[in-house]
């Protein structure tokens, strides 16, 4: 993979970065990193903004433009939209809703099968993250003290989901159903609403212990 492609991958996953951050990550000089960034800016793929610091010159941060986000694949976006339009024209909104519901059930069954051998919540979440990564969502899992965050830095069905928002709702429904016995799921960032990524907060359900059982245990 070319250095410029690696830089785009890094910015897609991490958000805005500085030339210094890239130089440390890729083992190059700050000047070399800056040259790559400026070249990508000339191509319309990156833009920058300066952030004031307490001492010294402002720090320049580089991020993807709309054209830059377009460098990442959207699974047959235009074709999918044409199919969605055709379904709605032939069968109406109710027919389109049935198609989305069928896709939701298919995805749920597929994920349930993939997670069937997992024996803990964390193993399920890691498997789910890998499934989403394999499907092109550039997924990663963060562990916090009392919750997890599933991050999807890219949406390979973005155009279709913009045209048919029920596809996004279906994905949230799948996560909730898949993990309903073990954690609460909420979407906290959403690409479709203009944010740079989708994130899901996964909060384990606290086991409620029967008070009678506690008393018996201490008798």
Is the pLDDT at 177 greater than 60? The verdict is yes
CATH: 3.30.1380, 1.10.3470, 3.40.720, 3.30.70. Which one for 77-204? 3.30.1380
Is the pLDDT at 74 greater than 80? The verdict is no
Topology adopted by domain 3-69:
Arc Repressor Mutant, subunit A (1.10.10)
Is the pLDDT at 28 greater than 70? The verdict is yes
Distance CA 1, CA 56 (A): 35
Residue 110 pLDDT: 96
CA distances, 103 to each of 41, 82, 214 (Å): 39, 17, 45
Answer yes or no: are the C-beta atoms of 107 and 135 closer than 8 Å: no
Same fold, 3-69 and 77-204: no
Distance CA 59, CA 53 (A): 7
Q: Alpha helices of 15-119 — where are they, by DSSP H?
A: 19-26, 30-42, 66-69, 77-114
Distance CA 149, CA 139 (A): 10
pLDDT band at 76 (very low <50, low <70, confident <90, very high): low
pLDDT band at 69 (very low <50, low <70, confident <90, very high): confident
Distance CA 107, CA 177 (A): 11
Answer yes or no: are the C-beta atoms of 75 and 156 closer than 8 Å: yes
Residue 75 pLDDT: 60
* % of residues, the chain, pLDDT over 70: 92
pTM of the entire predicted model: 0.75
- Domain-wise residue ranges, the chain: 3-69, 77-204
């Amino acid at each position: 993979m070319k250095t410029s492609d690696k830089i785009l991958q890094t910015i897609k996953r991490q958000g805005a970065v500085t030339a210094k951050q890239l130089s440390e990550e890729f083992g190059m000089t700050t000047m070399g990193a800056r040259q790559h960034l400026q070249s990508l800016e000339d191509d319309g793929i990156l833009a920058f903004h300066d952030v004031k610091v307490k001492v010294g010159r402002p720090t320049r941060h580089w991020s993807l433009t709309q054209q830059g986000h377009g460098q990442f694949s959207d699974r047959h976006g235009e074709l999918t939209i044409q199919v969605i339009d055709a379904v709605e024209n032939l069968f109406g909104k109710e027919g389109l809703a049935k198609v989305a519901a069928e896709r939701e059930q298919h995805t749920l069954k597929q994920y349930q099968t993939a997670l069937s051998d997992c024996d803990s919540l964390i193993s399920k979440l890691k498997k789910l993250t890998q499934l989403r990564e394999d499907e092109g969502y550039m997924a990663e899992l963060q562990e916090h003290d009392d919750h997890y965050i599933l991050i999807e830095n890219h949406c390979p069905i973005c155009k279709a989901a913009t045209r048919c928002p029920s596809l996004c709702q279906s994905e949230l429904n799948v996560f909730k159903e898949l993990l309903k016995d073990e954690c609460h799921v909420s979407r906290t960032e959403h690409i479709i609403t203009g944010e740079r990524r989708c994130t899901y907060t996964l909060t384990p359900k606290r086991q409620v212990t029967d008070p009678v059982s506690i008393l018996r245990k201490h008798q």
